[in-house]
Amino acid sequence: MRRTDVHRTVRGLPRPALIARALRALRVVPLALASGAPWPGCAAFAAPDLAKAGSAGSALGTLPATFAGLLPCPDCVGARCQINLLPGGAYMRRSTYLLNGRDEVYYDLGAWSIAGDGTLILSGDREGDTRWAVEEARTLRKVDRRGNPLDSKPPSELTRRPTLEAMEPRLKLSGMFRYMADAARFRECRSGLQWPVEMSGEYRTLERVYTVLQVRIEPRPKMEGKGPEPTLIVEKFVDAMPGRRCDEQPPQSDLEDSRWRPVRIGDRSVTVPADQREPWIVLESISKRVTGSGGCNRISGRYQAGSGTLRFSPMISSQMACPAMDMEAAFLRALNDTRRYRIRGRILELMDGDGKPLVGLEERNLK
């Protein structure tokens, strides 16, 4: 087959309506393994350079593999966690928070690595970096940055399942659309996983564009042959950044004079009820004051920031009463305990003096 590489950069952002129509028409079909047979339940996350079924992950044993269990949760019954580790350094995680009368489910797709001390490090957007001690390839035990097990009941550990267990995730993906060797592909940046894109509609408007999409991955009938296969379905076009590449660092937000919204407090993701305002803070560079909202009450105080260090004074807040105050109280405790910080792109991580993550925030400046 004739092989041609076509690399074209979209020089101007296409019209939003044009992009939206193109993305609504996209249907992305996952790649099969080099052997020609997809992994059960996770072929949607396999790419030719990553997919080596049965490969060994050293201390992790044979991959792919599923680890799952019930983790402690400070303000819910518990958090069911499932992590699928794939060969080549990619993972998928599902977290289900068990609340009274309803569950909240979140997904992450990211990269895993093994530290020098044998600790498994999962790098994803929602929870930042998490660390797990690997015990005989059968158990993952959550540890702090120093490698010490977390003191919790029940224990913060996941056990290996006999077989790989499927997921049908719904999440936001950031990556590249690219036309190469007579085929269109989407490559997710953090994990490196990629899928071919059906060449229909106006897909060419997206070639070589760094794109953010809201997607879900579900079984769908195969385009050829019988039976279903995991398929990436674009639900919403979020953003396109012509000229950006996966291997480039994303633009980094400034600590000061940016509006930061918490997306995770402790081990819990932040969800804001429809009848409640979202929490946020702004660190004002000139006055060195911090202002914002806990979600119910206005908050204010002062701060001191250095090279990777950050400390807040005790916060002053209004005294309104709201139906649910737990999130605001947890947010204020996290600010009070903050001693360090780091910024990765548009994500701000606040940590205590030992480097333990307290709260993750994303930049959300109002235009």
Residues 6+ apart with CB under 8 A from 68: 80, 81, 82, 83, 158, 159, 161, 165
> Residues 344, 283: one domain?
yes
- pLDDT, residue 86, reads 86
The DSSP line for 191-248 is T--EEEE---TTGGGGTTEEEEEEEEEEEEE-SSSSSEEEEEEEEEEEEEEET--TTS
Specify burial of residue 198 (Cβ count, 10 A radius: 0-12, 13-18, 19+).
middle
- The lowest-confidence range among 180-189, 279-288, 303-312 is 180-189
Confidence grade of residue 201 (pLDDT, cut at 50, 70, 90): very low
* Domain stop point among 160, 176, 194: 160
- pLDDT level of residue 274 (50, 70, 90 thresholds): low
Distance CA 89, CA 106 (A): 21
- pLDDT tens digit sequence for 226-265: 777 666 566 665 666 666 666 655 556 789 888 899 988 9
* Residues 336 and 283 reside in one and the same domain: yes
Task: Choose the final residue of a domain: 133, 160, 187.
Answer: 160
Contact 158, 150 (CB under 8 A): no
* Band of pLDDT at residue 170, cut at 50, 70 and 90: confident
Q: What is the CATH number of the domain that holds 220?
A: 2.40.50
Q: How far apart are CA 112 and CA 91, in angstroms?
A: 6
Are residues 177 and 119 part of one domain? no
In a domain, 272, yes or no: yes
Average pLDDT over residues 182-208: 62
Is the domain of 155 the same as that of 173? Answer: no
- CATH number, domain of 125, equals 2.40.128.640
CA angle in degrees (0–180, nearest 5) for 286-289-295? 135
322 belongs to a structural domain: yes
**Same domain assignment for residues 146 and 195:** no
d(CA 57, CA 112): 11
Residue 335 counted as domain residue: yes
pLDDT digit string (tens) for 96-129?
888 877 788 888 888 888 877 888 988 865 666 7
Per-residue model confidence (pLDDT) at position 266: 86
Lowest mean pLDDT: which of 189-203, 279-293, 344-358? 189-203
- Residue 11 lies inside a defined structural domain of this protein: no
Q: Which residues on adjacent β-strands are paired with residue 130?
A: 122
* In a shared domain, residues 135 and 190: no
* Residue at which a domain ends, from 109, 136, 160: 160
What number is the average pLDDT over the span 118-141?
84
Structure tokens, 92 = 């998928």
Conformation bin of residue 101: beta by default, left when phi > 0, alpha when psi is -120 to 50: left
What average pLDDT is seen over the chain? 73
The per-residue pLDDT for 154 is 77
Instruction: Evaluate whether residue 75 is within a structural domain.
Output: yes
State whether 266 and 333 are in the same domain. Answer: yes
Say if residue 273 is in the same domain as residue 211: no
Per mean pLDDT, which range of 87-101, 113-127, 149-163, 193-207 is the poorest?
A: 193-207
Q: Structural domain of residue 150, as residue ranges?
A: 55-160
108 shares its domain with 141: yes
291 and 354 in a single domain? The answer is yes
The pLDDT of residue 6: 29
Measured between alpha carbons, how far is 245 from 177 in angstroms, rounded to an integer?
10
CB 260 within 8 A of CB 282: yes
Q: What is d(CA 107, CA 100) in angstroms, rounded to the nearest whole number?
A: 21
Residue 310 clears pLDDT 60, i.e. is over it: yes
The pLDDT value recorded for residue 278 is 84
Q: Say if 204 falls within a structural domain.
A: yes
Contact 175, 186 (CB under 8 A): yes
User: Domain count of the chain?
Assistant: 3
